[in-house]
Amino acid sequence: MKPVQIRMARAALGWGAGELGEAIGLSEADVERIEAGTGTDPAALARLRSAFEAKGILFLDADETGGPGVRVVEGRIVCDEGMRPEELNASNDG
């Protein structure tokens, strides 16, 4: 997992560095160091990867067609945008 992939995954989820850090027990500054390529704690990187994969992010290695990347696994809910209009009814009117 490359620093650029971490930034891509975070963007795909709509997370700020602080939100990601909070989700895995790191400070915002720690996340920013990792994304800059200067934070290489293996345990922190493993927590990052696990958190992203749990949200449906797949990490892609560089190959002959392009550099490293990420993909959102189809069918996985990546970010909660609230209830969909067809789910709204009188029984869940808050």
Summarised one tens digit per residue, pLDDT across range 39-77 is 788 999 999 999 999 999 999 999 999 999 999 987 655
| Residue 91, both tokens | 């029984």
Q: How far is it, in rounded angstroms, from Cα 42 to Cα 78? A: 25
By three-state DSSP, how is residue 22 classified? helix
CATH, domain 3-72, list 1.10.260.40, 1.10.3470.10, 3.40.50.1100, 3.50.50.60: 1.10.260.40
Domain ranges across the chain: 3-72
pTM: 0.74
Predicted pLDDT at 90 = 64
